[in-house]
Amino acid sequence: MALLLLIFTILLTSLFLLGAVAFQSLSSRRHRLPLPPGPKGWPLLGFLPKLGPNPHQIFHRLSKIHGPLLHLRFGVVDVVVPCSAAVAEKLLRNDMKFINRPKNSGAEHVAYNYQDIGFLPYGPRWRMQRKLCSLHLFSSKALDDFQDGRRTEFTRLVCRLAAQSVKADRNKEEAVVDISREVAACVGNSLSMLLLGRRVFDQDRPEVEEELRSMVMELMALTGSFCIADFLPGLRWFDPQASRMKKLNRKFDEFLNIFIAEHRAALAETTGPLITNSAVANKDLLTVMLQLQEINVDDEEGAKLTDIEIKALLLGLYAAGSDSNSILAEWALAELIRNPIILQRAQAELDSVVGGDRLVSESDLPNLPLLQAIVKETLRLHPPAPISLPRVAVEDCQVDGYLIPRGTTLLLNIWAIGRDPTVWPDDPLDFRPDRFLPGGLHEGVDLKGSHFGLLPFGTGRRMCVGMNLGLRMLSLMTATMAHSFDWHLPNGQKSETLDMEEKSNGLSLLRAKPLLARPVPRLRPEAYSKL
């Protein structure tokens, strides 16, 4: 039986190889312009075996050899990777030619068969979900309405860390904190209050916290991984990741069904006009979406939200938001610990605006220019997704004398663009927030996708819908941690020796080693008791 399977696999592989060669031959004849340059790959598999654990770094190195627009072959799929701001702008200034996503196993098996806003095809259903998020979740008014929940969670975190530090000092111990775990729980609860109206991380039930955290990490890894079945469709039957994806989807589906049932029961007990009823208005996004099921929210087709769309949207927003914000906050604090002079300057700015008898609030953030520059510099060096979610060319297009055929997958190397020396000539590898301050070379550069040298949230119609919330949460977390504590590395380790190696986890860019640090309260005692 094993021999028959081996023979069948060899025959199948040979057929794929012949088909790929024939396809490439026919394609090359019809192309009047050359494809962008790039490295040679393996027969049949193309460049897939050479990707390694950090593809964004490999693409960056290849761009030094072949130029800022790479062409690679992944199986039978053409892939182009822009690695410079200039090329990214030429391709995506008008992004309608790359408006859709290619077929993706993660989106199929985890994101409810492409129903998540990140993977939904461009059209009326996508515009409906985008409008829903813009009006009811990520508008300035919505963010202001929900800020009390974020403030409560951030205060809980600060008070818990302060109490641990005081207790450790009393016992003459080091209160070393796993920043990744602490921040992830805080961010996860803040986001779940916004989406579901309840906390999902519970200090009294660490097993539930660990399970949900691992589920989110697995989701981001599976959704962002290079799955061989996506590039060799004939091997989909042999896809070892498909069963993991389906199992993970079932787990999340059970969570979400419980929340939907609870919210429907609560809504059944309320009376009054939809959306405006004071008992449920502005409570959470799930409540709003369940109410919107009762009315038409899409003027183009009169379509209504389905339960599948609600679950897909909640899953995508929670997983992406909790994962990226907690990872970014860890990177920001690591950079400040590694650069103590910048941390001291940030603390001086915070003390002058906030004082020493209360914690930072969201209303303080616009008055903290250095803090805002620190956030921008963190996003430049450590973008939440080093490689963008893939886009697909919906028609042939040309750039710099090269042809990008219809059906080509585009992977924007956001990490490399943030290090593009033509855009960032002043020490692009160094953490230098001053570049964004008045008088700096990049004064006035924003994060809204119009400056193609800084695209942490993407650009165009497909840019991250949760950008405004992400910026608020990252800014508030960074400001809170810098203002509330002095930070020391364990065992007398010097700040300049802090390991800043990174590793890719599918969509996310993690620290290779979790950040362990010792917080020492620096505010007046009353600031740590205001829950």
Burial (CB count within 10 angstroms: exposed 0-12, middle 13-18, buried 19+), residue 111 = buried
**Distance (Å, whole) CA 467 – CA 456:** 9
Contacts of 190 (CB under 8 A, 6+ apart): 149, 150, 153, 154, 473
Q: Among 173, 25, 3, 135, which Cα is nearest to 518's?
A: 173
DSSP per-residue codes, 494-517: -GGG----EEEETTEEEESS--EE
Residue 454 corresponds to which amino acid?
L
For Cα atoms 362, 368, 370, give the angle at the middle one, nearest 5 degrees.
Answer: 135
Count of helix runs (H) and strand runs (E) in the chain:
17, 11
Residues that constitute the known binding site: 464
Residues that constitute the known binding site for heme: 464
Q: How many CB atoms lie within 10 A of CB 77?
A: 20
Backbone phi and psi for residue 100, each to the nearest 5 degrees, phi listed first: -105, 170
Tokens matching residue 213: 């955290």
Report yes or no: 232 and 75 within 8 Å, Cβ to Cβ. Answer: yes
Tokens matching residue 242: 């498909």
**Distance (Å, whole) CA 9 – CA 26:** 26
DSSP per-residue codes, 99-120: -BPPP-HHHHHTTTTTTSTTTS
Q: How far is CA 302 from the centre of its chain?
A: 32
**Distance (Å, whole) CA 213 – CA 422:** 39
Q: Indicate the length of the chain as a whole number.
A: 531
Strand 77-82 to 402-404 pairing: unpaired
Give SS3 for 84: coil
